[in-house]
Chain A
């Protein structure tokens, strides 16, 4: 009973922590973009202010119940998913569902968003979702190969034991030094999964008027802001857990998490975007090849 109580406390704590860290990740992203574009960028609390402002807006247009539920699923799915990601001192329910469960649980928010956008009956939104699902098909294939490689290497699908195995011998036993090819392929997939340039064809503001976001205003957009904070957090913590030895303590953990994101952010704001078919071609070529090669090494 005591253990259950502890788990419940952790399950409540982890999303809060994730949201706060996620907000700072959004801040970092916007600051980085600003510096690359020679602007000053937003203040520390700007991501939070944005969310509060959007939730408090007077014009809140809903296209029906599924539109609302879509946003609820998008936020709620991430709130649940981050409890599967161990952080220093808290394992949440990570031992009750490993990386396969997490991979599929992370599809729940996308499905929710897709449903909500569908209900809006805006063709631009639907086109955006069709592109978003296509790019999911594109980056999930290398990602899933990476998952297989990591699970085989550590002979476990539990993130708790994967992290424990990496922390045994310091940097030498980290995933990235034992499986560099998989780590590289994983970075590709991570970048594409964030939906930032050059993989943001599904948003394409000039072409399909921001796609999925086209009918989202007020707290609907606010929900997507919340979702983005969680998304950045989940992606970077997953990468850290698979390849960078997880978190020994909060300081190194946070350092690693933010460092992982700097790479895709720095690349993102320097490039235009790929077309859908080029994105698919790219993701099915280089990361898949790298990951398959990585698996060949892991399995020998």
Chain B
């Protein structure tokens, strides 16, 4: 039994234990303990993150004569590390006081732990896939187990989860069709066979394969225009579950896209395929889909009044950065895209947990019903502050480094409009995260929140550890870049030259150790100046006045609603629910097509239908 077997076994055990021990009082802590064992196992496999040899699982099966196998390389390890890390943090958060409170309000914390554990196990199976068949099996298992996690809350969440599974099934069909085509062409599901015939594929075949896979996997990523399911489904999942889903679940799509499109089919061919009547290549089209995903979802997030939805919408947009990075294919850009997956997971999990902590104390995530909590929950505030600086991509947190790599690569590749699009996304994010922290923690404290205390340590610990990671990997990005390089090597793309502090290049380097060091020295000087001034008198938080009037605490004057009123005056009319319109038109198109095929097949002429299908497939495979 090797380390990979051990990891998968422990993961299976975690799912089984949490599934069977539902009613037990300590089940949360047992699951968390088992997750930390998984974390140890992934750490034991650590050499994979530094270019170690591929680890093969000793179990291999044969399905209908097709061998299926599992193995871990640098890329799988990188994703697995994030998955298990996010699960560990969420499960510790969900184990102690949070679980008691959740149970008191009719929830089933055991079920939530089981759903997370099942997700981790299926995701590890997906990440370990050694051929296209196991990839598909893992993909489907992961899809259905995330459905379970989304449904845990019941009620409204069920509807959102069902909406997800409708999208996911559509995606699965597309992936299946893609696999069918590949099987027709190669006669096997092995990675090597696909990679071998990839150079001889015709343009039509490459384009249709890419469309099928990007569509199929992209639905999970929330690529426009198939992003509508994600924010609601994630936001309605109970706190720690949402943290796990938001941090890593939809990133499985990036893993699949990276394996199939980048590693096996090869992106270079997509760059060479021109779209007729435009000046875009096929890859540019994908890049633009990702860029529009960034902009539209970020500005949708800006309008949200529910903290969880705000974060979930940002999650979709951040996926766009990762896809752009990976599609750029040069050492800097792809490193940025891969690194962003790690960075994003750390701060998104921290942010979702911080919001859950606020909900735990106040019972609401409505950004118009909070405020002034910084004095009540200072450590949660700190976690959220570090998280939003990461999410907004401002130094010195890690989110800045990965975005810097992507910006830098877009400049080098000479893509001005995409560069502008990514920066617009970042600026929108800054606006929206300030609204998040302002409406929750700053401003006027509500009277009913006056007695609130900080959350217990079982909840604080995972949040603080995650924010430490956000900070440390921002200070020393080389730690993560080492793993990213191993993942790049596994994908067979050029690797980025880096050092502990960042990137060294003749055309513009980045050294975060110096930058953070100088920034904090600057803060030190700022503090020296500040405290050298005359002594301050602290007034009570509720002792306030505005516009010359003393205000009592029961007058609500916290400025929250329609926070960016001036901006919305200008761009507000651009929203118009066009996404809902888009979704309904998608539904119409699908039902029209299916109705049409039905008429053609059932009542019109089955033979003609078969003839058309046969001709088309002949043309496809022969041409």
Chain A residues near B (Cβ < 8 Å): 7, 11, 15, 54-66, 68, 71-81, 83-84, 93, 95-101, 104-105, 107-108, 111, 114-115, 118-119, 121-124, 126-127, 129-131, 133-134, 136-137, 140-141, 144-145, 148-149, 151-152, 155-158, 161, 201, 209, 218-219, 222-223, 226, 275-277, 280-281, 292, 295, 299
Contacts of B404 on A, CB cut-off 8 Å?
100-101, 104
Per-residue 0/1 for B371-410: is the Cβ within 8 Å of any A Cβ (1 yes, 0 no)? Answer: 1101100100100010001000111000010001001100
Asked whether A80 and B521 contact (CB < 8 A) given A62-B539, A93-B511, the answer is yes
Describe A's contact surface by its main secondary structure: helix
Interface assignment of B276: CB less than 8 Å from any CB of chain A: no
Contacts of A84 on B, CB cut-off 8 Å?
515
A/B interface sample: 25 pairs, CB < 8 A: A60-B533, A60-B535, A64-B375, A68-B536, A72-B523, A73-B526, A75-B525, A76-B522, A77-B526, A83-B518, A84-B515, A96-B510, A97-B510, A104-B394, A107-B394, A108-B519, A111-B394, A115-B437, A121-B442, A124-B547, A130-B564, A137-B427, A137-B431, A140-B427, A161-B508
Contacts of A133 on B, CB cut-off 8 Å?
430-431, 434, 564
Contacts of B408 on A, CB cut-off 8 Å?
100, 157
17 extra A-B contacts, CB within 8 A, seeds A72-B526, A114-B438: A15-B522, A54-B533, A64-B375, A75-B530, A76-B519, A76-B524, A93-B518, A97-B510, A97-B511, A105-B519, A108-B519, A126-B443, A130-B435, A144-B420, A156-B506, A226-B529, A277-B566
Contact of A93 among B381, B428, B514 (CB under 8 A): B514
Chain A: minimal CB distance from B574 (Å) = 12
Q: Which residue of B lies closest to A124 (CB)?
A: B546
Chain A: minimal CB distance from B503 (Å) = 10
Asked whether A276 and B566 contact (CB < 8 A) given A61-B537, A76-B522, the answer is yes
Interface assignment of B618: CB less than 8 Å from any CB of chain A: no
Contact check, A57 vs B530: say whether CB atoms are below 8 A apart. no
Contact check, B508 vs A104: say whether CB atoms are below 8 A apart. no
Q: State in angstroms the CA–CA spacing of A214 and B574 once bound together.
A: 33
Contacts of A95 on B, CB cut-off 8 Å?
509
Contact check, A108 vs B394: say whether CB atoms are below 8 A apart. yes
Interface assignment of B272: CB less than 8 Å from any CB of chain A: no
Chain B: minimal CB distance from A287 (Å) = 13
Instruction: List B residues 555-580 near A (Cβ within 8 Å).
Output: 557-559, 563-567, 569-571
Chain B: minimal CB distance from A209 (Å) = 7
Asked whether A161 and B507 contact (CB < 8 A) given A60-B537, A127-B559, A148-B420, the answer is yes
Contact check, A121 vs B443: say whether CB atoms are below 8 A apart. yes
Contact check, A130 vs B566: say whether CB atoms are below 8 A apart. yes
Contact check, B567 vs A280: say whether CB atoms are below 8 A apart. yes
Contacts of A78 on B, CB cut-off 8 Å?
522
Q: State in angstroms the CA–CA spacing of A44 and B529 once bound together.
A: 22
Interface assignment of B444: CB less than 8 Å from any CB of chain A: yes
Q: State in angstroms the CA–CA spacing of A115 and B389 once bound together.
A: 12
Describe B's contact surface by its main secondary structure: helix
Contact of A148 among B419, B430, B515, B566 (CB under 8 A): B419
Contact of A118 among B414, B438, B546 (CB under 8 A): B438
Contacts of A55 on B, CB cut-off 8 Å?
529, 532-534
Contacts of B585 on A, CB cut-off 8 Å?
none
Interface assignment of B105: CB less than 8 Å from any CB of chain A: no
Contact check, A155 vs B507: say whether CB atoms are below 8 A apart. yes
Contact check, A134 vs B541: say whether CB atoms are below 8 A apart. no
Q: Which residue of A lies closest to B542 (CB)?
A: A121
Asked whether A111 and B434 contact (CB < 8 A) given A15-B522, A64-B541, A280-B567, the answer is yes
Contacts of B411 on A, CB cut-off 8 Å?
148, 151-152, 157
Interface assignment of B613: CB less than 8 Å from any CB of chain A: no
Interface assignment of B494: CB less than 8 Å from any CB of chain A: no
